[in-house]
């Protein structure tokens, strides 16, 4: 019943409140709010409605004693009338709900009055039903063909998943909502079959992406990035992940052929966000994270360092009395050893690492205009001292329907990244003794970093603190477009794109005058400025038509041009002695030696022009027999005069077999779609002017007078027949869903043949030139990809889904030079470059270690106990370079990833496990030979470098896997180690605040989340990280990051 009190609204204050039986009371608005706030929160729970009548707010209150519940019963079936057990039935905007039983029956108690029930079940379209006075319902749910009805971007347009004939994978970005993502490549890691993303652990770096493995030997293997339909030039870190609406990966020739000569390595399509609601939506996402070393190499402890020093001296036949250890160390080490003063070199090189991100966006639409505006700030501190990066970016997406037949718009973004600062020297950290000094005059107010240690090794922090560095990169990317729907021809439209892309790179370096601890630097300064401008102009004509019930087709025609211009210049100055270097790189004019250089060419500028035309026809018969035919013709100035143009055709067919009557009778099969494609694409990823003869300058003395003149000479031989690398791909696949959508996925097989490889070939000496870039060689790349999606628990209080991704890839060199110098009937290998016919492109080729010689073994001359034994691979009784063998591949054979997603009411948990297996890496941290692991010689006493503590052979500890400290590595072999790993890649927990609460706060959504990345890696690799595979001293660690954040939308 209505509660009989009211507030007058004709005056702000005083206000009068009257309650029957009480005397009138007066309150100020502020007093009234304070008094009624606690009661008001409770009142809101029971309020049924309010109205404004005669300037009074009338609040109707549901008397708890008068409120009555009622029970609604019913049944739920599928479209064939079969009962559906486990259907979730929830009273909308509440937590009250139930599930249907084994016969599809349900019973739910709801408050009296109008109500809305939401029925949802995996594999079926959710349904909302308004209930007035009914007490019994019969509900039928329709099968949700989401796999077929999903809209995907396919390049120069979109298609429903049902009509796609090529290999196109849509990335599930929802899995990334609760994990800090600074680079869009991180969203690809492990989540797309056949795609490998690798970053190097450093903040602000873009990382690398491989789609279906390596196919080119020397040209680029990077995929084409297309942002909002336009080729994107720049770093992946320039793109704010918070702006991304969808991301698709095109993998086979049918899908990529529309991009022709740019698409040999696959295509990644990125679409930015737009407004979706007529009410403006403000969204704020922020997170903060702390990072630590995911793996810390085990260096020598001070005790082990002394032990190693004594063992080396003992094995070298030198005095090794522990009581005389001070005499075996450098003066600095001896002083600190006596004082008991030690350092941890890796801690010296480290800093407190973390990440902070703030995203703010406003989006919306009206009847004719759609807008999305965002700003992003990201700041990341790496694990190594002074290794930092920040990004500031803004985006504006705007389009408006000027008339019923004309739409114009712009998609634009600007990003600026600051990578300034020289990081601590990790290479020096691995050499540094635990008894080293880090600072000179450490007790002073302004201590200086040590220049070097008694002339033996540099300082960990010298570069970071003495040398100054400023590095800034800016990227402005925009696409202006217009879409004209031809009024008098239904289905015909014309689109024009003009996209300029400007990139600026500024790098300033300064080394001040610094004379201390063996360093005599007279100062150096440089300024580098790079400018790149790319523009793309495209004209696109599309025509769609349905002919009767059985025939439909879409035709796309394109004509486009693009140009890439680049220029670069470096000004530098050396030797500031006798003048001031206070202004650093801004004072180069004071340097005694000045120079101007042009990176990449004598003039420091280049230009590449390209022209393209493309036609694509999609034909549908009875909506289950699908055909796609594509051809693209590209011309590019980088190639020879005889091969400027290339044509790249493709064809694909798909059959939705589950639409056939003989399969419809199989109730277990919801979807079965078979696909096959064949086609070719090109690779144009070489720099400008490589087909032309370039000229250089030379100074020479001319005539009897000794006059110096400038001459011009050819730097290389022209290659007028230089042409595209061409990759031809065969792809066979099946998409499926069974058991009412509980299990679904894709299985694909591909084989890719690449010919006319762009390789540099050595030339005989009489030509006067050393090499020429030409088209020789061929490779084959084949593999299998499996994606499996499962619904493990039906909708209810607890939901559990899983996604398993598996891919196996094998590449091999088919031929290179097609020469047979020794006449044995087989093609010659290129041993110097480690290219072998029939083997993978990147291999581990070297002597195979066969244990360690032990005392009492038959040891060849020149060897001794504790030295590595090489395997006599050819069995001729001696170790020669002919005993080197291929031991494995440097690229993974297998990749698998599994993502488990659980949801309980408003809580969500995601666990992502990633693995790469079947590959090797070179780990030089395992080296123990004197050139890598021991200092000695000259006036310096011999002593061990710190390095990785993986043990060493001694007469008392006869290791079979590690050599002695005096092993000299006479064969120059490398140290291979398995890079196989299984990693807990990501764990994320989120909580969505209930709608009934966010509505009171006038919010659309409010989510809190915590996450962890790179939490633990199971591996035998002893380098920094098995995925990056960097086994050198200068490698950077990959961070383990734990973060917390919140997402709010209004």
What domains does the chain contain, in order, with CATH numbers? 2-61 (no CATH), 69-144 (2.60.40.1120), 486-638 (no CATH)
Mean pLDDT value across residues 328-332: 83
Q: In 3-state terms, what secondary structure has residue 817?
A: coil
Q: Is the pLDDT of residue 421 over 80?
A: yes
Q: Write the pLDDT tens digit of every residue in 252-282.
A: 888 888 888 888 889 999 999 999 888 899 9
Q: Is the pLDDT of residue 18 over 50?
A: no
Burial code (b: 16+ CB inside 10 Å, e: under 16) for 714-737 equals eebebbeebbbbbbbbbbbbebbb
Q: In 3-state terms, what secondary structure has residue 325?
A: helix
pLDDT band at 691 (very low <50, low <70, confident <90, very high): confident
DSSP letters, 653-706, are EEEEGGGSHHHHT-TTEEEEEEEEEEEEEEE--S-TTTTS--EEEEEEEETTTT
Q: Is 319 exposed, middle or buried (0-12, 13-18, 19+ CB in 10 A)?
A: exposed
pLDDT band at 492 (very low <50, low <70, confident <90, very high): very high
Q: Is the pLDDT of residue 216 over 70?
A: yes
Task: Please give the C-alpha separations between residue 527 and each of 331, 387, 471, in angstroms, as whole numbers.
Answer: 40, 20, 10
Q: Is the pLDDT of residue 251 over 60?
A: yes
Burial code (b: 16+ CB inside 10 Å, e: under 16) for 278-304 equals eeebebebebebebbbbbebebbebeb
Q: Is the pLDDT of residue 12 over 80?
A: no
Q: Write the pLDDT tens digit of every residue in 181-214.
A: 888 888 888 889 999 998 877 888 878 899 999 8
Q: Quick one: pLDDT at residue 34?
A: 38
| Strand 725-738 relative to strand 492-511, pairing | unpaired
Instruction: Calculate the average pLDDT of the chain.
Output: 84
Task: Please give the C-alpha separations between residue 8 and each of 28, 31, 55, 88, in angstroms, as whole numbers.
Answer: 12, 15, 6, 46
Q: Quick one: pLDDT at residue 927?
A: 73
* Ramachandran bin of 897, using left for φ above 0, alpha for ψ from -120 to 50, beta for the remaining angles: beta
Task: Please give the C-alpha separations between residue 417 and each of 187, 207, 321, 388, 392, in angstroms, as whole numbers.
Answer: 20, 15, 56, 11, 7
Cβ contacts of 334 within 8 Å, gap of 6 or more: 326, 327
List the single range of 5-14, 99-108, 325-334 with lowest mean pLDDT: 5-14
List the single range of 494-498, 723-727, 1031-1035 with lowest mean pLDDT: 1031-1035
Burial code (b: 16+ CB inside 10 Å, e: under 16) for 982-1011 equals bbbbbbbbbbbbebeebeeeeebebbebbb
Q: Is the pLDDT of residue 712 over 80?
A: yes
Q: Is the pLDDT of residue 501 over 80?
A: yes
pLDDT band at 327 (very low <50, low <70, confident <90, very high): confident
pLDDT band at 148 (very low <50, low <70, confident <90, very high): low
Stronger pLDDT, 1011 or 769, i.e. the higher one = 1011
Q: How many CA atoms are closer than 13 Å to the CA of 274, on its beta-carbon side?
A: 15
Please state the length of the chain: 1050
Q: Quick one: pLDDT at residue 218?
A: 81
Q: Write the pLDDT tens digit of every residue in 564-612.
A: 999 999 998 888 887 766 777 888 888 888 888 887 655 678 899 999 9
- Cβ atoms of 305 and 434 within 8 Å: the answer is yes
Q: Quick one: pLDDT at residue 432?
A: 82
pLDDT band at 518 (very low <50, low <70, confident <90, very high): low
Q: Which tokens in the block code for residue 249? A: 């990966």
Q: Which of 691, 697, 699, 698 is nearest to 716 (CA)?
A: 691
| Strand 940-944 relative to strand 976-978, pairing | unpaired
Mean pLDDT value across residues 614-628: 94
Q: Write the pLDDT tens digit of every residue in 944-961.
A: 566 678 888 999 989 998
Q: Quick one: pLDDT at residue 1022?
A: 86
Q: Quick one: pLDDT at residue 547?
A: 92
Q: Which of 612, 629, 627, 618 is nearest to 540 (CA)?
A: 612
Q: Is the pLDDT of residue 648 over 70?
A: yes
Which position has the token pair 């800016």? 474
Distance CA 248, CA 625 (A): 24
Distance CA 479, CA 497 (A): 6
Mean pLDDT value across residues 714-743: 90
pLDDT band at 989 (very low <50, low <70, confident <90, very high): very high
Mean pLDDT value across residues 703-724: 81
Mean pLDDT value across residues 420-446: 75
List the single range of 28-37, 726-735, 768-777, 946-955 with lowest mean pLDDT: 28-37
Which range among 32-46, 113-127, 286-300, 453-467 has the greatest average pLDDT? 286-300
Q: Quick one: pLDDT at residue 58?
A: 43
Q: Quick one: pLDDT at residue 656?
A: 94
Q: Is the pLDDT of residue 519 over 70?
A: no
Cβ contacts of 655 within 8 Å, gap of 6 or more: 624, 625, 626, 673, 674, 675
Q: How many CA atoms are closer than 13 Å to the CA of 199, on its beta-carbon side?
A: 22
List the single range of 351-355, 504-508, 523-527 with lowest mean pLDDT: 523-527
Q: Which of 990, 934, 1018, 1011 is nearest to 316 (CA)?
A: 934
pLDDT band at 7 (very low <50, low <70, confident <90, very high): very low
Mean pLDDT value across residues 127-151: 79
Q: Quick one: pLDDT at residue 740?
A: 84
Q: Write the pLDDT tens digit of every residue in 21-68.
A: 444 444 443 343 334 333 333 333 333 344 444 444 444 444 444 446
Distance CA 937, CA 943 (A): 10
Backbone angles phi, psi at 427, to 5 degrees: -60, -40
Q: Quick one: pLDDT at residue 33?
A: 38
Which range among 12-21, 317-326, 443-452 has the greatest average pLDDT? 317-326
Q: Which of 179, 137, 20, 247 is nearest to 1045 (CA)?
A: 179
Q: Is the pLDDT of residue 794 over 80?
A: no
Q: What is the pTM of this model?
A: 0.82
Q: Quick one: pLDDT at residue 893?
A: 95
Q: Is the pLDDT of residue 986 over 70?
A: yes
Distance CA 736, CA 748 (A): 12
């Amino acid at each position: 019943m209505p509660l009989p009190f009211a507030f007058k609204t004709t005056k702000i204050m005083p206000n009068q409140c009257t309650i029957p039986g009480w005397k009138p009371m007066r309150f100020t608005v502020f007093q009234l709010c304070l008094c009624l706030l606690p009661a008001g929160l409770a009142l809101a729970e029971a309020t049924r409605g309010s109205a404004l009548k005669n300037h009074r707010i009338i609040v109707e209150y549901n008397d708890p004693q008068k409120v009555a519940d009622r029970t609604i019963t019913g049944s739920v079936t599928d479209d064939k009338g079969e009962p559906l057990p486990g259907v979730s039935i929830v009273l909308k905007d509440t937590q009250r709900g139930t599930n249907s039983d084994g016969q599809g029956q349900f019973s739910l108690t709801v408050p009296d009055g109008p109500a809305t029930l939401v029925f949802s079940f995996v594999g079926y379209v959710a349904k909302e039903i308004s209930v007035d006075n009914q007490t019994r319902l019969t509900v039928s749910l329709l099968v949700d063909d989401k796999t077929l009805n999903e809209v995907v971007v396919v390049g120069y347009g979109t298609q429903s998943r049902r009509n796609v004939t090529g290999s196109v994978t849509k990335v599930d970005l929802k899995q990334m909502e609760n994990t800090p993502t600074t680079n869009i490549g991180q969203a690809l890691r492990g989540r797309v079959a056949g795609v490998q993303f690798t970053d190097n652990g450093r903040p602000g770096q873009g990382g690398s992406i491989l789609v279906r493995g390596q196919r080119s030997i020397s040209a680029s293997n990077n995929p084409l990035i297309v942002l909002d339909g336009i080729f994107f030039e720049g770093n992946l870190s320039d793109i704010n992940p918070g702006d991304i609406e969808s991301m698709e990966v095109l993998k086979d020739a049918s899908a990529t052929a529309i991009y022709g000569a740019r698409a040999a390595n696959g295509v990644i399509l990125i679409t930015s966000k737009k407004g979706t609601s007529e009410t403006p939506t403000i969204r704020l996402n922020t997170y903060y994270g702390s990072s630590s070393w995911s793996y810390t190499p085990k260096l020598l402890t001070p005790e082990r360092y002394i032990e190693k020093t004594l063992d080396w001296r003992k094995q070298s036949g030198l005095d090794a009395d522990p009581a005389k250890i001070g005499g075996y160390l450098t003066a600095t080490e001896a002083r600190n050893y006596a004082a008991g003063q030690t350092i941890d070199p890796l801690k010296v090189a480290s800093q407190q690492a973390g990440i902070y991100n703030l995203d703010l966006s406003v989006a919306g639409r009206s009847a004719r205009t759609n807008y999305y505006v965002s700003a992003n700030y990201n700041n990341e501190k790496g694990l190594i001292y002074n290794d930092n990066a920040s990004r500031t970016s803004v985006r504006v997406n705007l389009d408006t329907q000027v008339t019923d037949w004309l739409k114009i718009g712009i998609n634009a973004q600007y990003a600026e990244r600051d990578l300034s600062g020289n990081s601590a020297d990790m290479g020096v950290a691995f050499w540094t003794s635990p008894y080293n000094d880090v600072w000179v005059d450490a007790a002073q107010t302004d201590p200086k970093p040590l220049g070097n240690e008694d002339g033996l090794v540099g300082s960990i922090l010298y570069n970071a603190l003495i040398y100054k560095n400023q590095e800034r990169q800016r990227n402005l990317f925009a696409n202006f477009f217009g879409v004209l729907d031809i009024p008098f021809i239904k289905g015909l439209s014309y689109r024009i794109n003009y996209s300029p892309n400007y990139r600026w790179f500024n790098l300033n370096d300064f080394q001040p005058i610094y004379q201390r601890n063996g360093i005599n630097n007279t100062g150096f300064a440089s300024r580098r400025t790079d400018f790149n401008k790319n523009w793309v102009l495209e004209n696109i004509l599309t025509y769609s038509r349905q002919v009767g019930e059985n025939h439909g087709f879409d035709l796309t025609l394109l004509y486009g041009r693009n140009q890439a211009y680049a220029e670069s210049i470096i000004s530098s100055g050396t030797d500031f002695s006798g003048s001031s270097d206070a202004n650093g790189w801004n004072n180069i004019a004071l340097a005694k030696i000045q120079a101007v250089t042009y990176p990449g060419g004598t003039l420091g500028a280049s230009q590449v022009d390209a022209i393209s035309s493309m036609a694509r026809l999609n034909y549908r018969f009875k909506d289950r027999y699908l055909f796609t035919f594509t051809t693209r013709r590209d011309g590019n100035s980088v190639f020879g005069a005889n091969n400027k143009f290339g044509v790249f055709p493709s064809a694909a067919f798909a059959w939705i077999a589950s639409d056939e009557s003989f399969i419809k009778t199989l109730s277990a099969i919801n979807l079965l779609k078979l696909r096959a494609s064949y086609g070719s694409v090109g690779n144009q990823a070489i720099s400008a002017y490589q087909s032309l003869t370039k000229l250089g300058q030379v100074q020479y003395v001319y005539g009897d007078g000794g006059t110096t003149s400038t001459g011009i000479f050819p730097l290389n031989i022209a290659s007028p027949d230089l042409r595209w690398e061409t990759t031809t791909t065969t792809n066979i696949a099946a998409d499926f869903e069974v058991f009412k959508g509980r299990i679904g996925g894709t299985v694909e097989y591909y084989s890719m043949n690449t010919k006319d490889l762009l390789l540099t070939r050595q030339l005989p000496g009489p030509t006067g030139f050393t090499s020429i870039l030409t088209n020789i060689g061929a490779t084959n790349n084949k593999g299998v990809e499996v994606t499996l999606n499962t619904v493990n628990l039906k909708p209810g209080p607890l939901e559990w889904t899983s996604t398993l991704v598996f891919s196996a890839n094998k590449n091999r060199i088919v031929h290179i030079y097609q020469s047979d110098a020794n006449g044995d009937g087989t093609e010659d290998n290129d041993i110097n470059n480690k290219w072998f016919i029939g083997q993978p492109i990147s291999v581990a080729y070297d002597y195979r270690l066969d244990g360690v010689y032990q005392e009492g073994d038959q040891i060849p001359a020149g060897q001794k106990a504790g030295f590595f034994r090489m395997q006599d691979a050819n069995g001729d009784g001696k170790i020669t370079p002919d005993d080197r063998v291929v031991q494995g591949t440097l690229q993974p054979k297998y990749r698998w990833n599994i993502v488990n997603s659980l949801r309980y009411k408003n809580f969500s948990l995601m666990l992502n496990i990633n693995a790469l297996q079947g590959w090797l890496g070179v780990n030089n941290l395992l080296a123990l030979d004197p050139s890598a692991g021991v200092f000695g010689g000259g006036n310096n006493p011999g002593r061990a470098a710190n390095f990785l503590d993986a043990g060493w052979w001694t007469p008392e500890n006869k290791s079979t896997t590690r050599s002695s400290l005096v092993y000299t590595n006479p064969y120059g072999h490398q140290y291979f180690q398995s890079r196989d790993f299984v990693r807990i890649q990501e764990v994320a927990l989120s909580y969505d605040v209930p709608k009934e609460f966010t509505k009171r706060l006038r919010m659309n959504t409010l989510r809190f989340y915590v996450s962890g990345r790179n939490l633990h890696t199971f591996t035998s690799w002893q380098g920094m990280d098995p995925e990056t595979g960097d086994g050198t001293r200068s490698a950077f660690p990959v961070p383990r990051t734990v973060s917390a954040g919140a997402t709010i939308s209004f």
